[in-house]
Structure 1
Amino acid sequence: MKVTYYLVFFLFITNGLIAQRKDSSGTKYTPYELMSSFYNDNFRPFKKGNVYLGAAFSLQNRKLTNSSNILVNVVDGERLNYDLLLGTGYFIGEYGMVGLDIKYYQSKFQGDVIQQPDTVQSNTITRGFSLTPNFRTAIPLTRNERLSFFVVMGATVGSSNSLTRNITNPDVVDKVYSEDINFRLGVSPGVTFFAIESFAFEIQLDLLGYELSVSDKRTNEGPESRVINQSVDFKINLLSLQLGLAYYFNTKK
């Protein structure tokens, strides 16, 4: 399961958790009241003109021993993945938001793999970025809108580069260069629950998507090869489940 932590307006959140807070009418709320009665006082997080801003970070570290890793068998290795995401959105109408996500990611692998008939030391690093303009609609599940269902429809365009060094012995090093371009149309449903003031927990799941990828690869100074792949997926994949935090605010306050 991929866990994503949204670090959005930390100072706003800390102030709401520790100190008393006043709303636009001057009423003070204690932290307990912000978690209960606050949501019954004209709380409208999805109204027209509201803004959504956020930052996200995820980290994954895996130790591999005598296991299959996609196209190769790993004798002993380690994989470290992380990504950074910045997101913004604006509600153009009641419960409807247009947004843009910008993501940078990096993946590293180092270890011994089997390439018949030899075992070689392999080092791979991949870096990439993506842009995802999207539209999000919210459907409140409670009268005070504290719990809601949402659906995100987005189009992602991304590019990545990778370099792999396969070392058979100190005198034999093969360098594999790869460049990928990806395009994806996807639908992702989820649930939002406001825990305190406009600070919410979110769960999102990739459900339906079409993806097109173009991969160009070259080993050392040899000829370049190209693979074009298209796929359509419609399944509930718990590995794509994202857990996060978000903050909604009104610029007109």
Structure 2
Amino acid sequence: MRVYKFIVCFFLFAHVSWSQTNETQKDSAFTPYELLTSYYNNNFKPFKKKSIYIGLGLSLEDRQLENTDILVETILDGDRTKFDLDFKGGYFIHDYAMVGLNINYFQNKFTGRTIKDGDSIQSNAISRGFAITPTFRSVVPLTANERLSFFTDIGLTFGGSSTVSRDVKNIDEIDKTYAKNFNFRAGISPGVIFFAMENFALEIQLDVLGYELNTSTKTTNGGDESKTIRQNIDFNIELLSLKLGLSYYL
């Protein structure tokens, strides 16, 4: 899930930075808290012009489902596995102003028994997709040492995905479906940056305002192609869309 993003990476980076801090502490009388605090009071300027931003995200999900209602079907028993990878990069073209690029790749796989239209079906489905998002970020420090800051991302997302599914009612009745999706989104996402350890920062971000266009095509058993176009404008504050991330500033 999104709320678990980057936790593995955070502990890895935290371990490396903590080891470096311990080496410094051997030659110092300061406590670890004083050492970490003093780091941000000595000309710490993470958002200055020509700074580089690097972000990495990973989310994994493996769920066992039983007698679960999802949209128009009921899952009797099944296994759903998902992973989501995010790569982020940016360059500060001016103090507190950054241009960046986010690349996302994901996969969603399901295997199990479901009920559709009153029939029990053995279902297998897999979806893979990607998205590329050019962004512009503006940052407003909330503390004098810039350790806590507010930011706003404006981004344009272009993405696509494909889904292959196979539903078996009995040996003689098999439905194979192939679907393709194209997605475009223009959105504004505010958030907060907190530097937890040296140049490593935690980011909390929320999608607030956006316009989305989705085009979907679908064929079943090689028959005629159906097409659906959806447009959506949203303006809300939904805690379920909260994203937690880890980033590094050079």
TM over 0.5: yes
Counterparts of 1:81 and 1:223 in 2: how far apart (Å)?
Answer: 30
Higher relative helix content: 2
In structure 2, the partner of 1:222 is 223
In structure 1, the partner of 2:18 is 17
Asked if residue 190 in structure 1 is aligned to residue 206 in structure 2, the reply is no
Unaligned runs of 5+ in 2: none
Asked if residue 49 in structure 1 is aligned to residue 58 in structure 2, the reply is no
| Preserved contact between residue 8 and residue 53 of structure 1 (Cα < 8 Å) | no
The alpha carbon displacement at 1:181 in A equals: 0.4
Residue identity opposite 1:173 in structure 2: I
In structure 1, the partner of 2:37 is 36
119-128 or 234-243, which deviates more: 234-243
The alpha carbon displacement at 1:89 in A equals: 0.2
In structure 1, the partner of 2:121 is 120
TM value normalised by structure 1:
0.89
Asked if residue 70 in structure 1 is aligned to residue 66 in structure 2, the reply is no
Counterparts of 1:20 and 1:67 in 2: how far apart (Å)?
Answer: 48
92-101 or 236-245, which deviates more: 236-245
1:196–1:30 CA distance, 2 compared to 1 (3 A): farther
Residue identity opposite 1:77 in structure 2: G
Residue identity opposite 1:143 in structure 2: A
TM value normalised by structure 2:
0.90
CA shift digits 1:73-110 (9 cap, x unpaired): 22222221111111100001111110001111000111
The alpha carbon displacement at 1:143 in A equals: 0.6
Counterparts of 1:247 and 1:31 in 2: how far apart (Å)?
Answer: 21
Unaligned runs of 5+ in 1: none
| Preserved contact between residue 56 and residue 246 of structure 2 (Cα < 8 Å) | no
2:40 is paired with a residue of what secondary structure?
A: helix
In structure 2, the partner of 1:3 is 4
Residue identity opposite 2:141 in structure 1: P
Backbone CA RMSD of aligned residues: 2.5
Q: What's the % identity of the aligned pairs?
A: 50
| Preserved contact between residue 128 and residue 162 of structure 2 (Cα < 8 Å) | yes
